Amino acid sequence: MKLSNKITRKEKLAYGIHMLWIENELVAKNAKAGQFVIFRIYENGERIPITIAGTKNNEFRVIVKAVGKSTYELCRLREGDYIQDVVGPLGQPSEIRKYGNVLVVGGGVGIATIIPIVNELKKHNNKVDVILAARNKNYFILEEEFHEVDNLYFVTDDGSRGFKGFAHEMMEKLLKEKNYDVAWAIGPSLMMKACSDISRKYNLKIWVSLNAIMVDGTGMCGGCRVKINDELKYTCVDGPEFDGRFVDWESFNTRLTQYKEEEKLALKKYLE
């Protein structure tokens, strides 16, 4: 079995966003839409959870946005380099079946994350409308991979492409005109929360993928716990996808930002 974790291909997709193809037959052969891996670039390195955004033969790909020390390190690796540890596929796969009309929203690097979900939904004969949201027109990635969807909408904060505004505003515009049976929204947590608020208003089930802070990824450390409908869940083993209408967003966002100062310092030191 080919498990070298060698980076066979690397491509810059937008400013600070890179696509890496990695040789690991175990992940490539077993990954399902919605699952993720945890990387450790070198011994004693931080653990980095990243969604599996596609597979081909013995390789899988990830799309990484450099936001802090570890993701900067990951994005600086080159073709031919190796990642020390890759654990996965982890987490529960997306709940894909024939629903009917499905609305899928991808924001920022979440655009890459929704690709396997959209492909599976199409394989199950759903009608799939997709909203791609980005800061401006330069941040749309991999849009050529959405050619099979039924309707594709672009949204930018500054109006440089498509609808000017936020993803949840476009979502509400569509919900006023059309009935959907289920939705997905994957991207920054503020976007997922806003889309979940709209979904609650229209009584529509919405899957969000929670990017909780993770350590072991196996349900042992408790680091990734989230409150769903007043029940504690572990994002790494029970998720990462949950019905966004029932996520306790306030405690989730508080936990997500609890190490902000330390993270800022670590990145500053790394860049010096």
Q: Decide: is 259 part of the binding site for ligand FES (CB under 6 A).
A: no
The CA–CA distances, whole Å, from 148 to 34, 38, 79, 130 equal: 19, 30, 30, 10
To the question of whether residue 75 is assigned a binding role by annotation, the answer is: no
Q: Which of 3, 15, 143, 222 binds ligand FES (CB under 6 A)?
A: 222
Closest CA to 64 of 6, 137, 12: 12
The residue count for binding ligand FAD (CB under 6 A) is 28
Q: Which two tokens stand for residue 211?
A: 């990017």
**Residue ranges in 187-216 that form contacts with ligand FES under rule CB under 6 A:** 214-216
Measured distance CA(220)–CA(195) in Å, rounded: 31
Residues 6+ apart with CB under 8 A from 54: 60, 61, 115, 116
β-strands 151-156, 127-134: how paired? Answer: parallel
Residue 52 or 167 with smaller CB distance to ligand FAD: 52
Contacted entry of ligand FES, ligand FAD, none for residue 248, CB cut-off 5 to 8 Å set by kind? none
Q: Which of 16, 45, 68, 165 binds ligand FAD (CB under 6 A)?
A: 68
DSSP string, 83-135: -SEEEEEESPPP--S--SEEEEEEETTHHHHHHHHHHHHHHTT-EEEEEEEES
Say whether 233 sits in a helix, a strand or coil.
Answer: strand
Name the region of 217 (left: φ>0; alpha: ψ -120 to 50; beta: rest): left
Measured distance CA(58)–CA(105) in Å, rounded: 29
Residue 27 or 171 with smaller CB distance to ligand FES: 27
Residue 155 or 214 with smaller CB distance to ligand FES: 214
Contacted entry of ligand FES, ligand FAD, none for residue 149, CB cut-off 5 to 8 Å set by kind? none
Q: Binding string to ligand FAD for residues 79 to 118, with x set by CB under 6 A, is what? A: ------------------------------x---x-----
Residue 66 or 215 with smaller CB distance to ligand FES: 215
Q: Decide: is 46 part of the binding site for ligand FES (CB under 6 A).
A: no
Q: For the CB of residue 176, give the shortest distance to ligand FES in the complex, in Å.
A: 38
- The site for ligand FES (CB under 6 A) is made up of 214-217, 219-224, 234, 236
